[in-house]
A and B are shown apart, each in its own frame.
Chain A
Amino acid sequence: MRKKKIIFNIFVYTFLCIAAIFCLLPLWMALVNSFKTNGEMLTNVMSWPSRLRFENYVRTFDKMNYMRSLFNTIFLSTLSVSVMVVFSALAGWKLCRTKTKLSSFILALFIFSMLIPFSSIMIPLYKLVLILKIKNSLIGLSFIYAGMGVSMAIFLYHGFVKSIPIELEEAAAIDGCNAFQTFFYVVFPMLKPITVTIVITNILWIWNDFLLPLIIISDNKKYTLLLSTNTLFGQYSSDWTAILSALILAALPVIVFYSIFQKNILKGISDGALKG
């Protein structure tokens, strides 16, 4: 029995390691080659860099206005996700708890719109932005993201609320809580596991989204990280090593963010599991 377990473990770990290598391959290749000169890369893409050259990074860090773009991106994704989470948790919870025709209609409305291709709303959306005078506004853009992201978040909240017992809320109501108090003190804390998932996926979506900010932000002082990276694509179109270093720089904050946040996810999910 024990032997079987060991063999099983060896198989599992081998498989996971191969999958892990596959996952990291593009990142690894980008990292290794970003330290080379262009000539070095063209001769052999697989070799180690002859020495660690940071020239590419120095060059791109400056060009991208890295710190400013980073700040803009953090501001944009934090605000968007906060708005989105509060709005959609409120709606998702109430939609699940209210069993009327109106609630099913609203839910259906949210869910169906998830299938609308972005390309078909792009130009009308841009016109709207001009009418509302929120062009070049990161705050305005945050609300657009909230508007586009709430449907998925509501769908997830709605599904999650189904799995938590209603008794606690009823108890809170008996204790004299009004609906808003019940929501913020009783329900919202219980939604933490799915909130973590929603926060993560949406931060990453907004962090990596490109076409929407490209249309709405034209002031380069308000550029996000990806927009700044994009200007480099054009400028260094023939210099792969510089581009790769920019890609790594653009991905770095997310990687750091994720490795820190990793523990919180585990905790959030295990907390949820314990209380559920």
Chain B
Amino acid sequence: MKKLNPNVSLMLFAAPALIVYGLFKLLPAVLGLFYSTTDWNGLNKTYNFIGVSNFIEIIGDQYFWNSVLFTLKYVIVMVIVANVIALFLATMIESINRGKGLFRTVFYMPNMISMIIGGYMWMFIVTKVLYYMADNWGLTFLDQSWIGDPRYAFIAIIVVASWGSVGYLMIIYMAALQGVPTSLKEAAYLDGASGWQTFWAVILPMIRHAVTICVFWTLNSSFQVFDVIYSLTGGGPGRATQSTALNIYEEAFKGNIRYGYATAKSTVLFVIVLIITIIQLRIMSKKEQEA
């Protein structure tokens, strides 16, 4: 039998995925890129080709850069908070003997619900239940302006977003933790290592790949954060909690409806995310190789 050229057989296997992906993701993205060089308002049948002037305008767009800053802040906090909580929960559940399945089901539950729906459920809690607790149970620390004060609104957003994403991360971490052979843990225990030491020195290196996946996933989804903020604060008060995705959405579908300009903005967002991700993957894969 003739041995196939590796690239040919690779293409054979990758073709189905490449076709659907190229057709439904790459092609529209390229078309979108094309629109970013036009002044199309998403409505008119005709539009003009205006080169890079959309991109030049972005440089001076204060609201856009504020939303980028907000998104960066959100991403950093989410990557840390969500992953620490998820890993912590996963380790805790793995350390107990009874009720593993139950806790896992419960913690994963929020992931099953659309963030739009979850967001509205939380809205109900934030605007009704918390104040009820504050007024009737004397829990006055809950009596904050959870939507109106930018600081508290940020906390509320982080809490709700973590609520919605920790379960997924936890599942990945648990899958990785179960892949750590018990014999290794026992060996560490016999060597007299404490729980923390075992975790840092034995377990963490073994699940480094899961950490890469989870951080990558959080990073990626946080940069596009939309649903939570949309349903909770709508980006308000004013623009205080406006993420970049929300800023782009508003540009494309609200107000002046500048679709060309909005796609130019999403191109910029894409480039920012790309750079950050490349850096992150470089660091992570280097560490993975070292370990």
Contacts and interface: CB of A to CB of B under 8 A. Distances in A.
Interface of A: 9, 12-13, 15-16, 19-20, 22-27, 29-30, 33, 44-46, 83, 86-88, 90-91, 93-95, 98, 100, 102-103, 106, 109-110, 112-125, 127-128, 143-144, 146-148, 150-152, 154-156, 159, 162-163, 179, 183, 193-194, 197, 200-201, 204, 207-210, 226, 229, 240, 243-244, 247, 250-251, 254-255, 258-259, 262-263, 265-266, 269-270, 272-273, 276
Given A90-B14, A273-B178, 13 more contacts: A16-B89, A23-B109, A26-B124, A26-B125, A44-B132, A45-B129, A87-B17, A90-B16, A103-B7, A143-B20, A156-B213, A163-B209, A262-B105
Contacts of A210: 114, 116
A163 B209 CA distance: 10
Contacts of A86: 16
Contact of B220 (A83, A115, A193): A115
Contacts of B106: 20, 23-24
B104 A262 contact: yes
Contacts of A87: 16-17, 20
Contact of B266 (A120, A144, A208, A272): A120
Contact of B24 (A143, A152, A243, A258): A143
B190 to A, nearest CB: 14
Contacts of B29: 113, 116, 120-121, 124
Contacts of B26: 109, 113
B19 to A, nearest CB: 8
Interface string B254-291: 00000100110011011001100100000000000000
B35 interface: yes
5 contacts: A29-B125, A90-B16, A106-B18, A117-B269, A151-B21
B108 A179 contact: no
Nearest to B269: A117
Contacts of B248: 117, 119-120
Interface in B180-224: 209, 212-213, 216-217, 220, 223-224
Given A100-B6, A258-B108, A148 B24 contact: yes
Contact of B121 (A26, A103, A117, A201): A26
A29 B20 contact: no
Rank and list the top 3 A-B pairs by shortest CB-CB distance, nearest first. A147-B24, A208-B114, A120-B266
Contacts of A88: 17
A16 B13 contact: no
Nearest to B15: A91
Contacts of A45: 124, 128-129, 132
Contact of B163 (A20, A23, A93, A269): A23
Contact of A100 (B7, B18, B277): B7
Given A116-B25, A128-B28, A273 B262 contact: no
Contacts of A95: 10, 14
Contacts of A19: 89, 107
A192 to B, nearest CB: 12
A94 B5 CA distance: 13
Nearest to A120: B266
A114 B220 contact: yes
A125 B17 CA distance: 17
B65 interface: no
B120 A247 contact: yes
A143 B25 CA distance: 11
Contacts of A121: 25, 28-29, 31-32
B13 A90 contact: yes
Contacts of A13: 96, 99
Given A29-B129, A150-B17, A266-B101, A124 B24 contact: no
A46 to B, nearest CB: 6
Given A90-B13, A115-B220, A144-B24, A255 B112 contact: yes
B80 interface: no
B81 interface: no
Nearest to B278: A112
Interface in B73-123: 89, 92-93, 95-96, 99, 101, 103-118, 120-122
A146 B106 CA distance: 28
Interface in B131-177: 132-133, 136, 163, 167-168, 171-172, 174-175
Interface string B30-64: 01100100000010000000000000000000000
Contacts of A179: 4, 9, 13
B20 A147 contact: yes
B25 A255 contact: no
A128 B25 CA distance: 11
A19 B93 CA distance: 12
A24 B249 contact: no
